[in-house]
Amino acid sequence: MGEVMDRRPYVREMPKSWWLGQRRYTFYMVRELTCLFIGAYALVILVGLFRLSQGPVAYGAFVDALQGPFAIAFHLLALVFALFHTVTWFGLTPKAMPLRLGEKTVPGTAIIVAHYAVWFVVSATLLLVARA
Amino acid sequence: MSEPVLELEVLRYRPETDQDPVFQTYTVPYNSDWVVLDALTHIKDNIDRTLSFRWSCHMAVCGSCGVMINGEPKLSCHTFLRDYYPGKVRVEPLTNFPIERDLVTVADDFMEKLASVKPYVITEEDRPVSAGEHLQSPADLNSFKQYTMCINCMLCYAACPQMGLTPDFVGPAALALAHRYNLDTRDAGREERQEIAASNEGVWDCTFVGACSQVCPKAVDPAAAIQQTKIASTVDWYKALLPWGK
Ligand code: SF4
């Protein structure tokens, strides 16, 4: 019989930089980061609504402030992140919401396309309402 | 002409002598139809008998030979040297698991998590054998079949950063199996499984990185199972708020 050896399991620490260096983790972190810009954009809208409730002068000042280069740069950046957020999440929807019709599984692309269709309809309706 | 060779860097940990794991480089003959497991076996048989690693079936069924290969969790029996040659191949034990010795990890925690979700059919009442088969249509089977393909190889646990950040997370394979039995038309055990699956350490520790599904050698797609469990649990929560909900 060989001697019984002591066990000494070795635990490797997870490096703080775990999300750098591997594409799939970096991609995930960027997707998570997009929520900051979407949150900031939601705040801007809330401020706008609040200014609107204060009357036309206050709202006019708010709209003027949006014309500044800083505001435009922020909106462009937020748009890029919002698109990234939307496209990546829509791409994942078939996993979260698989659809079965009788014995058949609805193909994932159909679910993704349906999301874009709803997005388009909602956006178009909003624009129409806003113009009216 | 000399025979082609390939360098294999293997992370070694011998608890009786090594304070920390160290890489050891082995030079093995290059064979285009060899998988990494063949190279490891060659080392064990011809170069260094002290090297430890797990394997059993050599055909991607038993789930024992999972290791990190150049940073990716893979089955060593399913990963050809030709995909790396003439580059080096770096073999490490699966990430997010303690190392027992060399490429062998401690899987006890995973086993406990697996058992915690009760991965077996739970029926309302005991069915005597005389009741005959418990019938199920092919369509019913198809609704969960992909989740039955899991071989418990733990590659998904090695790929999941949440596993490293929050070690209590029940994890992809166990939650996928819970989902598999919840979807099974013969099963009535969902409520029991939800205690674990719908807890914080269950599906809610998952942030949908999706890496588990990308590395799964059996196309189980545990990430999908987890997101579906999240949705079903959320529906449960809203239903319980309704006056006629329980
Ligand atoms: S879900 Fe896939 S990667 Fe995870 S243990 Fe099962 S077979 Fe392995």
Which ipTM score applies to this complex?
Answer: 0.89
Q: In CATH, which of 1.20.1440.230, 1.20.1300.10, 3.90.45.10, 2.60.40.420 is domain A18-97?
A: 1.20.1300.10
Nearest CB to A9; choose among B96, B98, B138: B98
pLDDT for the residue A101? 77
For residue B78, give the DSSP letter: G
Q: Thinking of the domain B5-105, which architecture would CATH place it in?
A: Roll (3.10)
Report the nearest atom of ligand 1 relative to the CA of B155. 3
Q: Do domains B5-105 and B108-245 have the same CATH topology?
A: no
Chain segment B197-228, per-residue pLDDT in tens:
999 999 999 999 999 999 999 999 999 999 99
Output the pLDDT for position B109: 97
Choose from B94, B101, B216 for mutation: most chain A CBs within 10 A.
Answer: B101
Q: Please list every residue in chain A whose beta carbon sits closer than 8 Å to the beta carbon of residue B138.
A: 103
Residue A131's pLDDT is 87
The reported pLDDT for the residue numbered B244 is 79
Q: B108-245 belongs to which homologous superfamily?
A: Alpha-helical ferredoxin (1.10.1060.10)
Alpha carbon B136 to chain centroid, angstroms: 27
Asked if A22 is an interface residue toward chain B (Cβ–Cβ < 8 A), one would say yes
Asked if B141 reaches chain A (Cβ–Cβ under 8 Å), the answer is: no
Q: B198 and B229 in contact (C-beta within 8 Å)?
A: yes
User: For position A105, what pLDDT does the model report?
Assistant: 82
Cβ of B15 and A102 within 8 Å?
no
Which residues in chain A are closer than 8 Å to B164, comparing Cβ atoms?
14, 18
Q: Order of strands across the sheet with B72-75?
A: B22-29, B5-12, B89-92, B66-69, B72-75
Q: pLDDT 10s per residue in chain A (132 long)? A: 566 667 899 999 999 999 998 999 999 999 999 999 999 999 999 999 999 999 999 999 999 999 999 999 999 999 999 999 999 999 989 988 888 777 778 889 999 999 999 999 999 999 999 887
Q: How many CB pairs under 8 A join A and B?
A: 71
Q: pTM of this prediction?
A: 0.91
The pLDDT score that the predictor gives to residue A99 is 83
Residue with tokens 């000399």: B2
Which pLDDT value is given to residue B47? 98
Q: What is the pLDDT of residue A97?
A: 86
Per-residue HEC secondary structure of chain B comes to CCCCEEEEEEEECCCCCCCCCEEEEEEEECCCCCEHHHHHHHHHHHHCCCCCCCCCCCCCCCCCCEEEECCEEEEHHHCEHHHCCCCCEEEECCCCCCEEECCEECCHHHHHHHHHCCCCCCCCCCCCHHHCCCCCCHHHHHCCHHHHHCCCCCHHHHHCHHHHHCCCCCCHHHHHHHHHHHHCCCCCCHHHHHHHHCCCCCHHHCCCCCHHHHHCCCCCCHHHHHHHHHHHHHHHHHHHHCCCCC
> Is A27 buried (19+), middle (13-18) or exposed (0-12) by CB count in 10 A?
middle
Pocket test for ligand 1, best of B76, B154, B163, B216 (most atoms within 8 A of CB): B216
* Blockwise average pLDDT, block size 10, chain B, 246 residues: 91 96 98 97 98 98 98 98 96 98 98 97 90 90 94 98 96 98 96 96 96 97 96 93 78
Tell me how long chain A is.
Answer: 132
Q: Of chain B residues 47-76, which have a CB less than 8 A from chain A?
A: 71
Contact of A28 with chain B, judged by CB distance below 8 Å, is answered with yes
Give the Å distance between the CA of A13 and the centre of ligand 1. 23
What local confidence, expressed as pLDDT, does residue A50 receive? Answer: 95
Q: Is A100 on the interface with B (CB under 8 A)?
A: yes
Residue nearest ligand 1's atom 5 by CA: B152
Instruction: Kindly state whether A92 is in contact with chain B, defined as any CB-CB distance less than 8 angstroms.
Output: yes
Inspect the interface and report whether the beta carbons of B209 and A7 lie closer than 8 Å.
Answer: no
Q: Hey, is B15 helix, strand or coil?
A: coil
| Tens digits of residue pLDDT in B134-160 | 899 998 998 899 999 999 999 999 999
Verify whether the Cβ–Cβ distance B15 to A18 is below 8 Å: no
Pocket of ligand 1 (CB under 6 A): B 150-156, 172-173, 176, 216, 218, 220, 222
Q: How far is A94 from chain B (nearest CA, A)?
A: 8
Instruction: Note whether B12 and B22 are within 8 A (CB).
Output: yes
Domain boundaries along the sequence of chain A = 18-97
Nearest CA to ligand 1 atom 2: B216
- A32 part of contact set with chain B, CB < 8 Å: yes
3-state class (DSSP) for residue A104: strand
Q: Which of A5, A9, A103 sits opposite B99 (nearest CB)?
A: A9
* Residue-range domain boundaries for chain B: 5-105, 108-245
Total residue count of chain B as it appears in this document: 246
